[in-house]
Amino acid sequence: HFGSRSPSLRSEALPLGLQKLLAEIPGAMAGNGEFMETAKVAAGTSSVTYTADHNKSMSVRKSRHLSMKDEPNRRVSRKYAAEEGAQAAAVGAAAAKPASAAAVRKSRNASLIIAKAEDMRQRQIHLYESGKDPEERDYHTSVHTQDPAKLLPSQNSKLGTDGPACREGPAGIDVAEVSTLQQVSGKNKITPPKKENIWVRLMKQIFTGIFNVLLWGTVIVEVFLIYTGNSDDIVTPIILASVVVAAGLLQWWTELKAESLMDALSGMQATAPVPVVRRSRGQRQDLMIEAEDLLPGDVIFLKMGDRVPADVRILSCTDGMEVDNAALTGESIPEPRDPATAEQGTAPTHARNTAFYGTTVVKGSATCMVFFIGDKTFLGKIASSIKSARSKSTFEIQIEHFVHLIAIVAVVVGLASLVANLMSPTQHPIGYIIANAAGALFAQVPEGLIPTVTISLMIASQKMSARHVLVRKLDAVETLGCVSVVCSDKTGTLTAGDMTLRDMVHFSTASDMVTETDFNTTDPADKVSLASKMLRGGVRNNATVITGPGKYVGSPTEVALTKAGIAAWGQSKVKDVMDNVTLYEIPFDSANKWMFVAEPHADGGQVFSLKGAPERVLKFCKFAYIGKGEERCITPMTPEMLDTVSASAKKLMNNARRVLGIAEKRANVPNDYVWDKTSMEYAKENFLSDMVFIGLFGIQDPPKPGVKQAVEDCQSAGVKVIMITGDHPDTGVAIAKEISIIPANQELPPYTVITDKELADKVPSGESFADDGSEEAKRLEAFWTQVVVHARVFARVTPIHKQLIVQALQKWGGKNADGKAYGDIVAMTGDGVNDAPALKQANVGVAMGIRGTEVAKDASDIILLDDEFASIVHGIEQGRVSSENLQKSIAYTLCSKVPQCIPNFLELAGLPLALNVSQVLAIDIGTDIWTAIAYAWQPKESALMARKPRHPLVEKIVNGGVLIYAYGYMGIMQMACCWVFYFTAPGIHKSIGKSHFTEEEEHVNKVASTLYYYTLVIGQIAAALATTTYHESLFKYLMPNHKLNLCIIFEIILAAIVIYDPACEGVFMTTGLTVKQMAMPWMTFVFISLCEEVRKVFKRKEGHAREIAPKDGLRARLLDQPDGTAVAPSAW
């Protein structure tokens, strides 16, 4: 069995260590035959028989927890059953037949090894949540809900004689079991993924892909023709080969830059030796072992500064122990730890009695039991979910689709040219025919496309970095412009990630409480104002340490009060208050949930201050302050007043506030009283009674400035914003209402807020959602198809849930008007290791540059350098500009393909070749590639962010409209003009139908060819200006792209050099033109520009191809429509 789901015991199903051990035993690795017989002989009359039937019976339960019965009502472990069987087998074998004693011993050893290993496996089943498969992709365990007194024995581990501290007496696992346990559990390290050799990848970039195959094929044909003497054009193959190699190197280099994800994960693994206690023959053994040698059940000791070496259950710890989970979750605030057993149903990641692999102890020390190691840890689960190869981006799919389309066109044109040559009445040599067909094919291949696209995206990424968006993967630039859903983390992205005092609430009358939000009017010296008294008490009764300007050490709520005081009074006054003499104090602890300070009063006597959870503070309050200013008075606390306080506290909590209560009282303890000898029980009884309630503090991690506007801008642009948080649902909803993610004053429809409990049974059993028609698939589809439409807040989610949310949006989101779901294009933000699976799954992974972990950054496509959500909006806008400009650039590149191709066919009709391969290269590589790249600097057209996002699978960058424009409209106009001016060459008509020409006729042919080439250059200049706008007139838009203007000037200069330079005349087979001949082709520019202006007039009348959202925008519809559905773009 051993974890195999097959109905037979196979050697490959065993752990590697056991395979090695059993390999030394005759018959042990023989499968179901010889070894099964050996095991039966060894077992004798024992009830333990390892057969296929046994394995089959064990597959019924998912947990594979197996038990065996030797007698009624008595459970027997396999280990002991096998030992009894082995002894009986030894006796039976000796009596029955003359068997080798060594063979019997080896057989017995084989069954003992298997039994012992299986026993250990069954122990480890107890570490998982009941009823769940250990191999499930989501992380789950039950150790946090188990009492250590029962948990350790279940792993054959042991507490010390001093209990959970394990500092005395034998404790931990038995040394005798270590060897077998190592074989079963393996090493405590995360398995790295296989990496492809970088040089193999480079070769693939250069020599594979249909586009490269076409270009290399052209190079080979050109070289063959040169070798056979049918061509002397060595420039073309050299330039082509250089372009392919350069493009491959560029792509290879950009991919290498994006690959260090698993290296960063490996850096989180502990490397220092770990103090461990184990048992050996009843004696205690204190050891220092390497972290990778830790085993489940090991008892270890951690102290401040240690990196947690595995997933551990805290057995005991010092008061106030804290663990920094920033490396895992991205949360900058250390979390307290407590060994108390958690309640059933508590998520392991929210339990305070666990610590996870890769996190750090920042305060205190602890005794812990290891429960998961290596790939089974929380970090290991995350690592396994990001090992898969990166899927193709939507941009790569679009480019691949375009390349295939062009390849088909090129091959068809090339074959058509070959057939036409063979069928032509004019007989040509075979070398000439091949060269002509290759030229026709080559003319259709935009050989500058890949470097143009890559360099354009690099330029766009540089422009985005100026807006605090760092692009790690170039294709993310275009994809970001297509994003239809942004899934954002709450803390640090939508909110400041910094707890802030936002409200102070106190009684104005006995039946009413008033809220103060302006703290600048307070003063620590003010003895009358309740707001001043409250804030001074909050600052004084505080454990925060100020380490420097803007630097604090303490709990987030305490720091929030200190910072509020500094903002209102200045740091010097706050220090004066905090440095006042402390007579006696009781620090905050998780049991009391309050803290107490006694200090001398300026007028004599003392002031006692109590601050903590409102319900705990109110228990000590017999009175309350009421009123303002001089009218303030102290009145007895009544039940009605208690209800008012409770209602105010609840209102604050509903608004996502953490609430603290504060109270004080004056005292007159004798001056000679010895405060140091006061016990906590005495203080509780004598100091805390009859306190006077002052008010409530409302503390919150507030939304960042500008986030609300950025969310509304997203919604106006047709982009839905979803909050994904690990916080409580009420906290998430309150923030979501404040920043317009969900309506503030409306009842929320079903599925708007989804919690971890609702997602618990909505995780597919496989790596992703299946379409196999099973009951599970139908159940999941019914749930998730509703969620992707309505959900705006996901709370208390796990890393796997985050990945699942992205997968569901990509599968069932983006529903078209016809009801078909094309899948949303999802951007996901994150900062912790736990966000890495979702970041990698998303179409665009967005990591935080300031708070983000290295793993999150490595898993992302872009990084927000300022951690501002508004930067995503800027990125989307720049992505849309880049996408639009790339489409214009490709359209421009394709415009010249028709006039480049047709001369090859008309040559068969007897016309001298109007455009040779060298001239095609001069246009494509010499001029067009630079002009196409210059589109990266093209400014946006109006109303860009008022349009709905373009779905790349529905409205591709190179769509039917682009092809019709380039081939059927602009290409035809260019071709017509080229032929018009071709035939203006004097005497060209005499060359028609001839295969041999005189020297004079050769010159005429060169003039005609030069005119054709020059007219095409001018036609491309007209196309360059025409394609800068979709529908806006050039007279209004003008020529704002100065780099494009320079490229146009460069085109004219290069064309002149090709025509007039003697060296170039020999290479490109051109000749000098007269002034008149140079001026006439500019009529092409005028003709094409006029046609374009007329077309754009009609285009403007029809409206833009994509629907322009009204002023109230999609945001209003998202917030006001009951079902929250968005209207699909008309272009979809």
Burial annotation 834-861 (CB, 10 A radius, 16+ → b, else e): bbbbbbbbbbbbbbbbebbbbbbbbbbb
Q: Which residue has the tokens 């088909």?
A: 408
Number of Cβ within a 10 Å radius of residue 120: 21
Q: How far is CA 1009 from the centre of its chain?
A: 55
Q: What is the three-class DSSP state of 28?
A: coil
CA distances from 379 to 195, 295, 337 (A): 20, 16, 19
Both structure tokens of 383: 């690592």
Going by C-alpha positions, the residue among 302, 281, 282, 305 that lies closest to residue 291 is 302
Contact between residue 893 and residue 449 where contact means Cβ atoms under 8 Å apart: yes
Contact between residue 93 and residue 104 where contact means Cβ atoms under 8 Å apart: yes
Round to whole Å and give the CA distance between 228 and 828. 58
Round to whole Å and give the CA distance between 499 and 556. 6
Cα angle vertex 454, ends 452, 455, to 5°? Answer: 65
Alpha helical stretches, state H, 24-60? 34-43, 52-58
Contact between residue 398 and residue 957 where contact means Cβ atoms under 8 Å apart: yes
Sign, Cα dihedral of 1121, 1122, 1124, 1127: negative
Round to whole Å and give the CA distance between 620 and 593. 13
Both structure tokens of 101: 């004693």
Round to whole Å and give the CA distance between 195 and 618. 62
Cα angle vertex 997, ends 996, 1000, to 5°? Answer: 175
Element spanning 479, H or E: helix 476-481
Contact between residue 170 and residue 1 where contact means Cβ atoms under 8 Å apart: no
Q: How far is CA 951 from the centre of its chain?
A: 20
Q: Using CA atoms in the order 429, 430, 435, 436, what is the torsion angle rounded to 10 degrees?
A: 70
Q: Which residue has the tokens 């092809």?
A: 963
Q: How far is CA 1107 from the centre of its chain?
A: 31
Round to whole Å and give the CA distance between 399 and 396. 5
- β-pair partners for 848: 864
How many residues are listed for the chain in this entry?
A: 1132
Contact between residue 946 and residue 469 where contact means Cβ atoms under 8 Å apart: no
Residue from 311, 489, 701, 713 carrying the catalytic annotation: 489
Amino acid at 552: Y
Both structure tokens of 439: 């030229």
Q: Which residue has the tokens 């903590």?
A: 612
Is residue 293 part of the annotated active site? The answer reads no
Alpha helical stretches, state H, 6-147? 16-23, 34-43, 52-58, 78-96, 101-125
Show Cβ contacts of residue 673 under 8 Å, excluding neighbours closer than 6 positions: none
Contact between residue 227 and residue 435 where contact means Cβ atoms under 8 Å apart: no
CA distances from 187 to 184, 286, 308, 353, 723 (A): 10, 21, 16, 24, 38
Going by C-alpha positions, the residue among 836, 783, 792 that lies closest to residue 812 is 783
Going by C-alpha positions, the residue among 820, 789, 893, 1054 that lies closest to residue 402 is 893
User: Any idea what DSSP says for residue 598?
Assistant: E
Task: Give catalytic residues, as residue numbers.
Answer: 489
